[in-house]
């Protein structure tokens, strides 16, 4: 063990108390044998060394040295009188007690000073460590803000002093020295057309004590326009007086440009689909009519027409009708997306429309070997678009036939209990719809089963839902896999604006 380690060790109070007592007891013993010893120098040296080693081993070198000198002078005190034999005088005992007390006090004070010094050094080291970690965190935060194009700000509402992070200065392309660092200076940096909007959002947020989020533009010095999204929140004192507002600003210019490009691409696609559907529908409609005419002629003269040709004629009519339906779905989808879905409303008897549609689909029903049971009240009349109502009924019935596996289909038409809406229910007992698909099937190009098994674009239920919602109604589905599906349509008999 090194001497430095020995001298610098810390010991508890009870150990220092014990050492001080041992040193004092050693003095008493030495004082007792002094009169019988002729080697005074040896005794002084032994006593001083004993004090030095014992005390320095407990609380450092210098306190031990000081106490050792005190012991040295104590020995000289006893040698002033030629003969000194115990028991000593009261003064001697007081001196010894004072020496013991001084020894203990010096050890205690030294320990406290050492601990305070080490604690100070430790605190300073901890502070330096914390400063280094803080600097690293700030550097990482700045780097993250630079990458995300996201900055933070804080406004002292009492002094109107505004603080921006470095990234906000980069977003606004403003020099920190030239910036006024106030709310008014911030407003001036915003696009003139958006200043009132931003100011209203901020002031209303303070009044309502709620956070705000707003998109707005920035007008650069060279005329460029940037788009940012800003969010903020205000904090208040106990009396509900606003103290400070904090928030973030993120540059979303690139995202806005991408959204605009995507919007243009979608618009171009919808326009193409609309034009293509129109252009294809015209010759296909003519072809469909010609095929129907050929079918009638074949049916009139069965004797001269082979069965194969008659069958091909029927298949051609079916295929052409399916293509026309797909084109109609694409047209409806583009109308819905562009907000051009028009409704031509008039009084419609829902019960009669259901029965007519079922009659028109008799061939399809017979082919699927299923039976449609209709339970309808005599008169369920509402103000709807008749062609769109037929589209709803035919789509839902087609799905029931397609996925019903030849099992019975139940159709119910009735008035709601409040007699303000009509209820159309269509139930099949086919393959059913999984729970996770029951909301997705009303989205574009979504289907409950693979497209390899069933023909279609996955637009039918999407169009049905949009038509129903355009009438102010709702559609719900209840299904279990393997147990079939129940579709329930509720249509108000008359919209509020029509009453």
User: Residue ranges of the domains in the chain?
Assistant: 3-122, 149-251, 259-337, 346-498
Least confident of 87-101, 150-164, 393-407, 451-465: 87-101
Cβ(165)–Cβ(153) below 8 Å: yes
Average of per-residue pLDDT values in the chain: 76
- pLDDT for the residue numbered 496: 54
Cβ(17)–Cβ(42) below 8 Å: no
Q: Would you say residue 307 has pLDDT above 60?
A: yes
Cβ(467)–Cβ(392) below 8 Å: yes
- pLDDT for the residue numbered 484: 92
CATH of 149-251, one of 3.30.450.20, 3.40.50.620, 3.40.50.410, 3.30.930.10: 3.30.450.20
The domain defined by 259-337 carries CATH number 2.160.10.10: no
Tokens representing 183 are 């709310």
Least confident of 137-151, 195-209, 406-420, 462-476: 137-151
Per-position DSSP letters for 304-343, written without gaps between them = SS-HHHHHHHHHHHHHHHHHHHHHHHHHHHHHHHTT----
CB atoms < 10 A from the CB of 297, how many?
11
Of 80-89, 258-267, 354-363, 404-413, give the range with the top mean pLDDT.
404-413
> Which residues, at least 6 apart from 395, have a Cβ–Cβ distance to it below 8 Å?
460, 461, 463, 464
d(CA 468, CA 336): 12
d(CA 471, CA 490): 10
Top pLDDT among 153 and 334 is at: 153
Tokens representing 247 are 């928030």
User: Hey, which residues does 229 pair with through a beta bridge?
Assistant: 215, 250
How would CATH label the architecture of 346-498?
2-Layer Sandwich (3.30)
d(CA 62, CA 41): 23
| Reported confidence tier of residue 154, pLDDT bands at 50, 70, 90 | very high
Q: What is the chain's length?
A: 499
Report the pLDDT averaged over residues 22-33: 56
| Reported confidence tier of residue 302, pLDDT bands at 50, 70, 90 | low
d(CA 2, CA 87): 42
Phi, psi of 416 (to 5 degrees): -70, 165
Cβ(72)–Cβ(48) below 8 Å: yes
Asked whether the CA dihedral 343, 347, 351, 355 is positive or negative, the reply is: negative
- pLDDT for the residue numbered 323: 74
Q: Would you say residue 38 has pLDDT above 70?
A: no
- pLDDT for the residue numbered 334: 75
- pLDDT for the residue numbered 44: 53
Cβ(383)–Cβ(343) below 8 Å: no
Q: Would you say residue 282 has pLDDT above 90?
A: no
- pLDDT for the residue numbered 475: 94
Report the pLDDT averaged over residues 351-373: 88
Locate the DSSP E strands across 165-237.
Answer: 212-219, 225-236
| Reported confidence tier of residue 199, pLDDT bands at 50, 70, 90 | very high
Cα 138–144–150 angle (5° rounding)? 105
- pLDDT for the residue numbered 445: 74
Tokens representing 26 are 């050693």
- pLDDT for the residue numbered 97: 64
Phi, psi of 492 (to 5 degrees): -65, 140
| Reported confidence tier of residue 120, pLDDT bands at 50, 70, 90 | confident
- pLDDT for the residue numbered 192: 92
Residue 233's Cβ-side half-sphere holds a number of Cα atoms within 13 Å equal to 3
Asked whether the CA dihedral 102, 103, 108, 114 is positive or negative, the reply is: positive
Top pLDDT among 72 and 94 is at: 94
Least confident of 261-270, 401-410, 425-434: 261-270
| Reported confidence tier of residue 418, pLDDT bands at 50, 70, 90 | confident
- 90-148 helix and 13-33 helix, angle to the nearest 10 degrees: 150
- 307-337 helix and 460-470 helix, angle to the nearest 10 degrees: 50
């Amino acid at each position: 063990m090194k001497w430095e380690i020995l001298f610098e060790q810390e010991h508890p109070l009870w150990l220092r108390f014990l050492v001080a007592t041992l040193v004092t007891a050693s003095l008493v013993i030495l004082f007792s044998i002094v009169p019988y010893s002729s080697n005074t120098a040896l005794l002084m040296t032994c006593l001083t060394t004993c004090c030095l080693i014992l005390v320095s081993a407990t609380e450092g070198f210098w306190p031990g040295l000081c106490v050792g000198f005190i012991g040295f002078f104590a020995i000289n005190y006893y040698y002033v009188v030629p003969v000194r034999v115990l028991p000593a005088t009261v003064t001697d005992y007081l001196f010894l007690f004072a020496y013991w007390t001084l020894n203990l006090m010096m050890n205690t004070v030294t320990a406290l000073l050492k601990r305070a010094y080490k604690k100070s050094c430790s605190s300073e080291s901890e502070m330096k460590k914390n400063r280094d970690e803080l600097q690293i965190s700030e550097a990482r935060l700045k780097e993250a803000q630079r990458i995300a194009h996201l900055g933070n700000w804080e406004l002292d509402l009492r002094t109107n002093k505004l603080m921006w992070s470095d990234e906000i200065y980069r977003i606004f392309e403003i020099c920190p020295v030239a910036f006024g660092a106030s709310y008014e200076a911030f407003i001036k940096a915003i696009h003139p057309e958006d200043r009132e909007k931003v100011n209203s959002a901020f002031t209303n947020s303070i009044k309502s004590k709620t956070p705000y989020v707003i998109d707005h533009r920035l007008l650069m010095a060279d005329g460029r326009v940037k788009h940012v999204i800003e969010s903020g929140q205000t904090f208040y004192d106990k009396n509900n007086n606003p103290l400070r507002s904090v928030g973030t600003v993120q540059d979303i210019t690139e995202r806005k440009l991408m959204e605009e490009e995507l919007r243009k691409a979608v618009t171009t696609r919808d326009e193409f689909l609309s034009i293509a559907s129109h252009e294809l529908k015209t010759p296909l409609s003519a072809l469909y009519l010609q095929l129907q005419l050929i079918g009638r002629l074949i049916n009139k003269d069965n004797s001269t027409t082979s069965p194969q040709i008659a069958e091909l004629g029927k298949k051609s009519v079916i295929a052409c009708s399916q293509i026309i339906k797909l084109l109609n779905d694409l047209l409806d989808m583009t109308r819905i997306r562009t907000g051009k879905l028009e409704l031509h409303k008039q009084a419609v008897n829902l019960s009669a429309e259901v029965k007519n549609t079922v009659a028109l689909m008799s061939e399809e029903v017979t082919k699927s070997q299923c039976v449609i049971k209709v339970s309808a009240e005599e008169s369920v009349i509402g103000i709807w678009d008749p062609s769109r109502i037929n589209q709803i009924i035919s789509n839902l019935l087609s799905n029931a036939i397609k996925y019903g596996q030849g099992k019975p289909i139940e159709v119910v038409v009735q008035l709601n209990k409040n007699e303000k809406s009509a209820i159309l229910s269509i139930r099949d007992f086919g393959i059913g719809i999984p729970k996770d698909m029951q909301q997705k099937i009303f989205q574009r190009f979504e289907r409950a089963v693979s497209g390899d098994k069933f023909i279609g674009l996955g637009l039918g239920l999407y169009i049905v839902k949009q038509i129903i919602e355009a009438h102010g109604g709702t559609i719900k589905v209840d299904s279990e896999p393997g147990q079939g599906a129940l579709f329930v349509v509720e249509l108000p008999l008359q919209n509020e604006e029509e009453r």
